Every structure is written in C-alpha cells, then in structure tokens.
Amino acid sequence: MAQHQTLLIIDFGSQVTQLIARRLRELNVYCEIRPYQSVTEEVIREIAPLAVILSGGPDSVTREGSPRAPQALFEMGLPIFGICYGQQVMMEQLGGKVEAGHHAEYGRAYVTPAEGHKLDGIFAGLFLNDGREQVWMSHGDRVTQLAPGFEVIGTSPNAPYAITADESRQFYAVQFHPEVHHTPNGKALIENFLRKAGFTGDWTMAAYREEAIKTIREQVGDKQVICGLSGGVDSSVTAILLHEAIGEQLTCVFVDHGLLRQDEAEQVVAMFRDNYNIKLIAADESDLFIGALEGVSDPEVKRKTIGKLFIDVFQKYANEIEGAEFLAQGTLYPDVIESVSFSGGPSVTIKSHHNVGGLPEKMGLKLVEPLRELFKDEVRELGRELGLPDSFIGRHPFPGPGLAIRCPGEITREKLEILRKADAVYIDQIRKHGLYDEIWQAFVAILPVRTVGVMGDGRTYDYACALRAVTSVDGMTADYYPFTHDFLGETATRIINEVKGINRVTYDITSKPPGTIEWE
C-alpha cells in the first residue's frame, strides 16, 4: 500500500511499540514497525517515510553495543520523534549525553513547561489545565546533556529533559510515553507532530478496501483461490473481500468439526452461500473429529488431534478444487510484526494454538493475506465497510478447537450436546440483559463432575457447569465480568430448568493471569 503517506517506527523493543501504531492508525496515518536491526539507510529510502518515530526499549544507550538508529537517518531531512529510549538514542547519536541508572521513574509524573518557553508548534494546546501535563514514565536512564540544537520544552521532577526539541530540524524527543492511555494528551501531541510533518490522514477504510481489491486482482490474476472459513470475523472479512475482488475464482471451505455452538454451522453456511452467493464447500466432518476425540481428556492431545485432522480434511477438500494456486488467510498485523525480542530463548508454550500454519507449504499453495496490515478493530471496520452486519462483526471470539476445550475431562457426544444447550441459554441471557457488547467473551464450560441435586421430589445426579465471562482488550490479560447476583441467580435457574443434564451452576471469577480465558 505504498501510495499512502507512511510513517516509519523504528522498534527498539518496547513493550508498547504496538500502541504507537494504534495511535497513528486512529489518526488515519499508515505506519510500519521495523525492528532496529533491519533498518538501514536503503530500507528507509525504500519505505520513503514522511516522518520517523523511534520507540522506547529496554536497553541502555550507555551500554556498549546497544541498539542505534542508522546515523544517516539524522541527515535525511525527515521529522523525527524519539520516545524514551528513542530520545536517548537521539541525544547520544547527535552529540548529547545520557547517564545510566539512579534516575528510575515509573508510572505517573507531571511535566511543566520549561521557564520562558513559548508553547507553540507541536506543543500547542498542551499544558492547558493547571499548567502541567500528566505523563507516563518508565525509564532507568536519563538525558543529562542535550545534543546541540535542542532546547528543553518541559521538565518533570526526575527528568529535567522530559520534553526536548530542535524545531529547525523538526526533531522532537520526550522521556515519557505519549502512546499510552495514562498520558491523556499523548495522542494530541502525536497528532500535532503528524500534522506538522505533513500527514493529511489518508489512511481510511474505504481507501484501503479499494487498494486491497486492486492488489488481490494483481496478485491472483485468473487463478483459483481457496479460503478456509471458520465463521470468525477475520476469515469472514477475508472471504468477502476476496469475493468482491475475484468473484467466482474464490471457493471457501468450511469444515464443521462438530465442536461448534448451537446452530452455528447452519448460520455460517446461510450467511455466505445464501447472502453473499460465495462458492462454498461445507464439509460436515463431525463424526471424524468426535470419533477421534471421544474419551480423550488431555488438553494438549485434544488440541493436537484437532489441528492435525483439520489440516488433513482441509487438504482433502482443497484438492477437489481444480487449478487452485492460492490459499487466502486472515493473518493480522500483530501476527506479522517481527517485534524485537530481548527475552532470548523461546517463550513457554501455554497452549498450542489451533492454526493452519503448515498448510500452504504442504499443499504447494501461495498465500493471499489481505488483512496483513490491519489490527483487529480495523478488520471490524473493514467488515462494516463491506456490509457485514454489526451483530456478526461484534461476535465474541471463538477458539479454533471449539467446544473441545470447554469440556474439561473426557469428551463425549452427550456432554457436547448438554454444553451446547447451556451455552445457548447463557448467551441468550446476556443478550437479553444488554450485556453482550460489554463483555469480551462469554461461554459455558461443562465440568467433569456430577453432583447430587433434588428436583421436584426426585434425586438428580447430573453435571455441574461453570459460566465464564471476561472483559479484555486483546485477550492477553482479562478480568472476570462483575455480573449482579440477580443476573447470576436468574441464569442458573434458567440453565437448570431448560437444560436436561445440568443440576448445578457455578461462576468462574478467575482473572487472566493467573487463569486463562478458556478452561483448557
């Protein structure tokens, strides 16, 4: 999408580099994050950015061999904004001084304008309340001597050079993190920088849609494309965008592994085949999957069994599509960014996630990934742009292995059936009470215990279930949703009355961490 005005973010490994990209996208500015190791003068010329942001990072510029920006960057006449480590890199490379340690400052701090400084340019509109600005700090080192040409615009008790600028070169460098929410005016500061650098905000979904369609047509030509459809937002938007670009050259494959929610398979088929008129192979392979899973209780074995079968089955149907050369996938930007990792070794596998990673190589297919540049909420926006109903776009995430991982202990057909019914009642309750959109994800897990109850005059000995509902921004951390006792009581009564096989309902109040969202 090179036609857009582009901002280059050089990533020095901060935990929040992605948030810089989020803020920019919110301001309709296209950006690319590149790890500092991969950025050379040639790379910068190739990307041809209108401006550059240097991210924060965990290293210390005082350490020998610590990360730097290419020195040539500072001679290219581009506006540059350095954040935290990015500021220190600028000072160090441009002739100032940074001192290590003893100046740590984490969390909220207040910046006040430096004496006698006129607040104009990119600082216009800041410090308006009581003459000070709340910012978020997270640093160990600090600048102790400015590089030639820079002046101090704002200071904080622990960072005398909290905001610095060399207006003549449009170089700005701040000690705090303007990209995080705890710097309330951070976005305004970034916006001022962008406008001054000449960004007009040309990154809109309508423009993206047009260009994506053009790019897909160029890439695919007259060849056939296969797209795996899960019913989730990413694969659905991918399919609809491709359909718009290449129509009949697209065939979608939807594998029903028998672990979907109530009526879900029918809904997906109706939506794509009937509403959008997309060529769709709907494969009911539930017997195969459930047959392989029956009696399995180990969570990782469940996940691996499903993942392997899925690839086999998908391949079988894809082979039937004559002349297919491409596989379309709903890969998103966060999966693509090669963020700088300072942690060293591979991180611990908490759960092996279900995906079709190995599929393209195995089948000799080339990839079409039209969402590679988008974040999740941008995908939703694109979905709206493409006419997907809000009710569909706003759906809670649903994991690839489906109900298998909401059925701790042995999987049986009976338990899956009970789970489906209980889940449907629970979600109905949440919708009726108008809570669906406030919750990131909600579901029922059927527990591998039977408990004694009394209904009517008889004894029951049925399953217990757990309700789960969490709030989250990205699924990485989560908190349980604070339902009222009335809601929980009413829901428990409905589930026990309406779902044969359950006689006890519990509510899971574990946050993530230490829990995970799913039970397995």
Point out which residues bind ligand XMP (CB under 6 A): 351, 353-354, 397, 399-401, 441, 475, 512, 516-518
Distance CA 205, CA 191 (A): 19
Q: Give the torsion through C-alpha atoms of 312, 315, 317, 319, to 10 deg.
A: -140
Look up residue 198 and give its amino acid.
Answer: G
**Catalytic residue among 92, 105, 133, 179, which?**
179
CB of residue 145 to ligand XMP, shortest distance in Å: 46
- Beta-bridged to residue 251, according to DSSP, are 226, 279
Two tokens, residue 312: 């086999």
CB of 352 to ligand XMP, least distance (A): 7
The one catalytic residue among 84, 227, 407, 465: 84
Does 235 show up as a binding residue in the annotation? yes
Active-site residue, 31 included: no
Any binding-site annotation on 231? yes
Binding residue per annotation — 232?
yes
Q: Which is nearer to ligand XMP, 231 or 400 (CB)?
A: 400
Q: Which tokens go with 285?
A: 């392979």
Cβ proximity to ligand XMP: between 383 and 399 the closer is 399
* Residue 402 marked as a ligand binder: no
What is the rounded (10 degree) CA torsion for 97, 103, 109, 115?
-40
CA dist list (Å): 274 to 142, 215, 229, 341: 61, 27, 15, 46
Instruction: Tell me if residue 177 is catalytic.
Output: yes
Smallest distance from ligand XMP to CB 339, Å: 19
Q: How far is the CB of 435 from ligand XMP (least distance, A)?
A: 17
Q: Which is nearer to ligand XMP, 353 or 362 (CB)?
A: 353
Report the alpha-carbon distance of residue 455 to residue 461 in Å, rounded.
Answer: 10
Looking at beta carbons only, is 82 or 399 nearer to ligand XMP?
A: 399
Q: Sheet holding 171-174: strands in order across? A: 30-35, 6-11, 51-54, 80-83, 171-174, 159-166, 151-156, 105-113, 133-139
**What is the DSSP annotation of 214-251?**
HHHHHHHTT-EEEEEE-SSHHHHHHHHHHHHHHGGGEE
Cα gap 54→44, rounded to integer Å:
13
Is 179 among the residues known to form the active site?
yes
Query: 233 a known binding residue?
Result: yes
Query: Annotated binding residue at 234?
Result: yes
Q: Is 339 a known ligand-binding residue?
A: no
Catalytic one among 139, 177, 243, 354?
Answer: 177
User: Nearest-CA neighbor of 5 among 34, 27, 38, 37?
Assistant: 27
Q: What's the min distance (Å) between Cβ of 398 and ligand XMP? A: 7
Instruction: Output 35 or 228, the one with its CB closest to ligand XMP.
Output: 228
User: Residues annotated in the binding site for ATP, as ranges?
Assistant: 230-236
Residue positions forming the annotated binding site: 230-236
Catalytic positions = 84, 177, 179
